[in-house]
Chains A and B, each alone.
Chain A
Amino acid sequence: MSHPVAAVRHVLIEGNKSYHNITEDLCSPTEKTPSREWIVAFALSAAFLGLYVFAITWTVWKGIGEWGANRTINWAWDITNFVWWIGIGHAGTLISAILLLFRQRWRTGVNRAAEAMTIFAVICAGQFPIFHMGRVWLAFFIFPFPNSRGPLWTNFNSPLLWDVFAISTYFSVSLLFWYTGLVPDLATVRDRATGFRRKMYETFSFGWTGSAKHWQRWEALSLVLAGISTPLVLSVHTIVSFDFATSVIPGWHTTIFPPYFVAGAIFSGFAMVQTLMVITRKVLKLEQYITVNHIESMNKVIVLTGTIVGVAYLTELFISWYSGYIYEQFAFYNRVFGIYWWSYFGMMFCNVVAPQVFWSRKIRRSIWWTFFLSIIINVGMWFERFVIIATTLARDFLPSSWSYYSPTWVEISIFTGTIGLFFFCYLIFCRVAPVVAIAEVKAILKVAGDQYIGPDAKHGHSHSDASKEAVKH
């Protein structure tokens, strides 16, 4: 290609790749025998998944009295973990949908894994409210359907029911978006496979051929799905925040909650993407596809959303003081200096102070710093939800019912168990599907590959020269 290329563009595919190299590199993790690291990680996450199954069975058998939640603090670790996981899911849709609409090319390196992360995180999130219902075998009552109980319908005025709709829509739409994007790449894996694997991938790739008309429809579908997923992802965490914001609890019923929750969700989601990507690129040797430029772009989003979250925290404090309403003021005084003061300061440090180091370009581009901070932010965002939920409820309207909450072993096992569930799914995904979107990376090779725009770019060649070069390598 001999286009003039703007110098501001970052190289997003390194290593002078040809189309065939891309196919080889991205398909090979699904074709090789798993590495020792993978087996160890898989065994570990399977063990935690086992713990999860045990703790859930225990909960269902004995009842949710086995949890530390009590009559005052009736939402505790369960809802904290639910919101934490849902928030993590948001980055996947942000990367795949919003960045597609904004034509950000760096999304191609990470979108597939981030979308997978969304799906697994939403699965983990769903566990908490479902089992918090207590009689989980009646969980289907949350869906409105003609029934023999009257028919008795659900309460469509309740934000908790909005949540049911938001999260189930979010899950199923994310699944469609992810899988439709995956189909052409599964066809690539199919066409390299033989025997049983070929049969398997033939089923999963739905008979994809790569016809021009199919590609055109595929792109049209992706664009519209991105277009509707964008307001969807914003609506999901807005509605999660309504669970709190439409209540009458001081400390919860604040109008700032929707944007504050959405920013926090994107913030925590990107942190989790970083955690996963830093490990994935190393273990699967994808450093040339998930480059330091990708990591830096995501760190920029982290510092932006972290700062938005920080402004929201401070705004909350200011408004509670400015309201002149003593119950509101007490709720926030209690949040900062009350019994759970350590979680408030943990939250402030991890979410607001720590990410500010990303103003430095050197730290933004450092793998170790990125990994370290991504963990800090994951912890910090967990603290945020704990602060909002448990500290607010611990000091309710009647001082005689004030209480303290600490989790039981069952809750700790369920939470660590969902982390096991998450990694269990993710590790299987890494083995059966290309972690980086093959077709999408190929489509940007000539505008973001180093041999076309990097310092060694061969400009001025005719197109057939470029293709010969590509074949030679």
Chain B
Amino acid sequence: MAAESTKVLYGLYNDEEDLKGAVKAANAAHLDIMDVFTPFPVHGLDPILGLKESRLHYLGFIYGATGASFGFLAMSWIFTRDWPILFGGKPYWSVPAFIPITFEMTVLFAAWGMTLTFYTICGMWPGVKAKTLDDRITDDKFCIAFNVSEASDAQVSDLRGFFSKTHAAEVNVKTI
């Protein structure tokens, strides 16, 4: 991937309630927020940011169903086709005995599938350098970021006005 740099104007708030108020104000002013960064999941932020519910759990279901079918079908094939063995006169296709492993495979596939998907869609892997705007965002600052790569000076000063109106504790520019 080519190293694209984005010029970002961002404001830091001291409290999540200030942040939520600012996001609402930005919505009212039709400002296009690039992203919001917080030290912990702030509840009630997603709807005002217009974030749709994550679809990760649908994928979880699909992965789980895959695991269940894989486990069950593999055992069925092995014990009826590939190498049938008679255990104490019980049927080759002993379905109740397959339940525990089928269940474990469901959980295993769902958990690994979802976790790997999570890291992939978030672009997170070992060795990825975090594009952090400010080190205090993982501590106690709540950040609203605007992409100002192509913004005119007038637009930038509008955004600065927005930050001062919404009581941002600090406003900075950084290229990431």
Chain A: residues with CB nearer than 8 A to chain B?
A: 1, 18-20, 23, 144, 150-153, 155-157, 159, 161-162, 165-166, 169, 172-173, 176-177, 180, 183-184, 187-188, 190-192, 202-221, 223-225, 228-229, 231-232, 235, 239, 242, 439-440, 442-443, 463-464, 466-468, 470-471
Contacts and interface: CB of A to CB of B under 8 A. Distances in A.
A207 B128 contact: yes
Given A169-B104, A221-B114, A464 B138 contact: no
Nearest to A217: B54
Contact of A219 (B41, B87, B105, B137): B41
B139 interface: yes
B3 to A, nearest CB: 15
Nearest to B100: A162
A229 B114 CA distance: 13
Contacts of A176: 111-112, 115
A206 B78 CA distance: 40
B39 to A, nearest CB: 6
A209 B139 contact: no
B78 A153 contact: yes
Interface of B: 14-15, 17-18, 21, 35-43, 45-46, 49, 51, 53-54, 56-57, 60, 64, 74-75, 78-79, 82-83, 85, 87, 90, 94, 97-98, 100-101, 103-108, 110-112, 114-115, 118-119, 121-132, 135-140, 167
Contacts of B49: 212
B78 A23 contact: no
A144 B79 CA distance: 12
A468 to B, nearest CB: 8
27 contacts: A23-B39, A153-B78, A155-B85, A169-B108, A172-B111, A180-B115, A183-B124, A184-B138, A191-B135, A202-B129, A204-B126, A211-B35, A211-B122, A212-B45, A213-B35, A217-B118, A220-B53, A220-B56, A224-B110, A225-B111, A225-B115, A228-B110, A229-B111, A231-B107, A232-B107, A242-B100, A466-B17
Nearest to A439: B40
A36 B75 CA distance: 54
A442 B39 contact: yes
A86 to B, nearest CB: 15
B15 A217 contact: no
Nearest to A207: B128
A471 B131 CA distance: 26
Contacts of A18: 140
A220 B54 contact: yes
